[in-house]
Structure 1
Amino acid sequence: MSTAPARPRAALLLLAYLAFVSLGLPDGLLGVAWPSIRDDFHVPTEAVGLVLTAGTVGYLTSSVLAGFTLARIGVGALLAASTLLASLALSGYVLSPVLAVLVGCALLLGLGSGAVDSGLNAYAAGVFGPRHMNWLHAFFGLGVAIGPLIMTGALSAGLSWRWGYGTVAAAQFALAIAFALTVRAWRRDSPATAGAAGAAGAAPAAAVRVPIGATLRLPAVWSGTLAFALYVALEVSAGLWAFLLLTEGRGLGAAVAGGCVSAYWGSLFVGRVVQGVVAERLGATLVLRVSLVGMAVGAGLIAAPGPAALAVLGLVVVGFAAAPVFPLLTLTTADRVGAAHADRAIGLQIGASGIGAALAPAGLGVLIGNTSVQVLGSALVVLALALIALYEWGARRPSGRPVPAQPDGEGQTSGPVRPVVEGR
């Protein structure tokens, strides 16, 4: 049998890795850049909430719509257009004369990033196994770890924060071109196509129409959606405010603190590389439970009074423990809600993660502005304990059932079922 299909899949896997890196880069920039942006635009610390909220509105809108329309527009075209939009938005950051313009660009960046995130996660959940799913998200962590280094390097060289965003904008533009050149390959190697073709010699997949309401009525869809919001709230809050905690709260210099923030995101990358293999051997449930407890322990170290080294250790523990949570929850979505609802559920989950990424850090910004940055650790502990409670509650509820094979006109099953979503 010909091995030709392996080549485009390997190429698409490489592009998917690069895309996850590019998704992480902007997230890693803001925490280091914000003090400079705040000073340039003469706005208070809590004004970061405007940027985060605008980004979340765009992210939520596009990620949910992508989950519901992915089968119609194709993942390749979605990735090419959305990555180009993200590049243009980041270029807008570079040119923004006032905060209001930057907030508008944050909305566009959210629209581009949400669609890319949802499309890639839905594609990967249908095509790749636990190891590659963790490794793909590890490369997101790598992107977020590189982001602070890019921004710290620009600021340490005496350059404006705008140079950091310009560098990432150029990288996003190059990736958009790569997606545009491979649109047909993504369509040919999509999960829907693979499901329709089946294994060698298998019968074609049957089509099952699944109303949107059926997806929205599943409790497993909403418990998973809330879990994503809590998880990302913790992950982003730690990364966004760690720089301020280490500089203003624990007395570290800006360069050292920037390196420590990169260490946090780097531990997320290393954890996903390592635990991608561990999850295949020990199973998702055990790895998820241990990871959630580890996040709570790390948050406790950040909250504990002590030297800066203790807070840095807590950040690294949180990053390493959090590593497999997002990819494993995404990978097991079909097990919880059924394959027919998986794309939609993933879109909702990605959208909820955007809400968590904005509301919690923005709320913390207001809290920090009115108290002190030392409150960060306690807030992370509360989020970690809430996530543990939600996961255990969801684990004890019946999961969503997959759509069964349907008989054909002659009373015989016609092979694996391929869900076809309806727009009503």
Structure 2
Amino acid sequence: MATVAAAPDIGSRVGALRRAAGMTQEGLADGRFTKQYVSQIERGEIIPAGELLDWLASRLGVERVVLETGLSTPDLERISERLAHGQRLLDEHRHVEALEIFQSLRGSLTHGAPRSAKRSVVRGEAWALIRLGRISEAADLLGEARSVADGPTGTRDEQSEVAYLTAVCCYSLSDITTAQAEFGRALQLLDEADETDDRLRLDIHQWRSRCHRRQRDFEAAREDIDRALELCHALDDVRRRAEVHLQASLVAERLGRWVLARRYAETSRDLFEEVGDTVTRGRVLNNLAGLNHSLGVDDVAVSQLREAFAIFVDAHLEIEAGYVLSSLAEIHREQGDLEEAGVAARRALEFLEGRIDHIQEVGTAQLVLARAHLDQGKLDEAEDLLGVVDASYAATESVAHQARSWMTRGELELLRHNESEAARLYREAAVALQPPDN
């Protein structure tokens, strides 16, 4: 049965189609009911449903779906095809093209179009904007979606998805506190929903684990990712399994379980290869390289980084290329090749320039460059750059990263024979790195 909110649209469509067919209200009634009854339908005072809706559609020479949505079956099929195409573009990291598809769809959908189609359009457009770093635009879009989802016809699962996507925006802007609150709200709304949506629940858990990692609450991160792993094993969704295993690898790495982290990452790499996602496979290679570096297998690490860099350059993905160069710079610095470390770090910063949604990696590249200056005895250059590093890391709300900057400052002060200031900085870093109280 149509909802009250949709009834005026059905009624107006009945009236428009009747007039286009040259019928009077009495002619449409055809002796089945009165002219006044048709008038009430057209004014939205009576909600036609079931057999009556089928009968009206037959009299007007249209499919029932036209009265319900304003769209024909071919129209709905075209919408479904374009939605699927937009999702494929997102999966292929062709975010500009995906955005064009979803924005065009949003502008063309009629008021009576299926809510599921509108929800898919908003979801796709929001993700395209997030991936392009246009976070404020995504947040504005989701603000509009929230006002609809929170309205009288909204559902708990719609509200949950808006909260989840809003949390992703907040996370991307390093507003971790708000992101945590929105992820929690999303899970609570899912608990209240009429139907279970395990895919959305899985997504929420694996994204919330990132917040816990940023806050150094690694046990909470592990609990979230374990729940996501449970859910993904029950779903026939290879891409989500790949994504969750990647996040599981990052959590295991933070817990110091590097061999387990590498195993998770290798599983993720293979799953992304299975779905044909070369770009995300490159991202996993970058993480695998870091793990192999930690395990002392630098030749494999450098090989994996070079393979990942080639993937990102071919795909014109500057952000990802910047991440790889930052990792290469760190390995070069540790191997004593300071000139190469500086070159790689500067190139990384060129690729990452202006991307506040990747400010943590910007700070990491800046720190590698500062440490290369330090190792070369360029103390003033190192000090100037560490001030920039502090500003970058302060925006991430990640005390672990801020502590890395303070420890580097401590090394700088030791080289200047300022032992008391170095000790203070080391103490500050040590306190910051203490596990949070439970």
Give the structure-1-normalised TM-score. Answer: 0.26
* Higher relative contact order structure (alpha carbons within 8 Å, sequence separation ≥ 6): 1
Question: So what's the TM-score if we normalise by structure 2?
Answer: 0.26
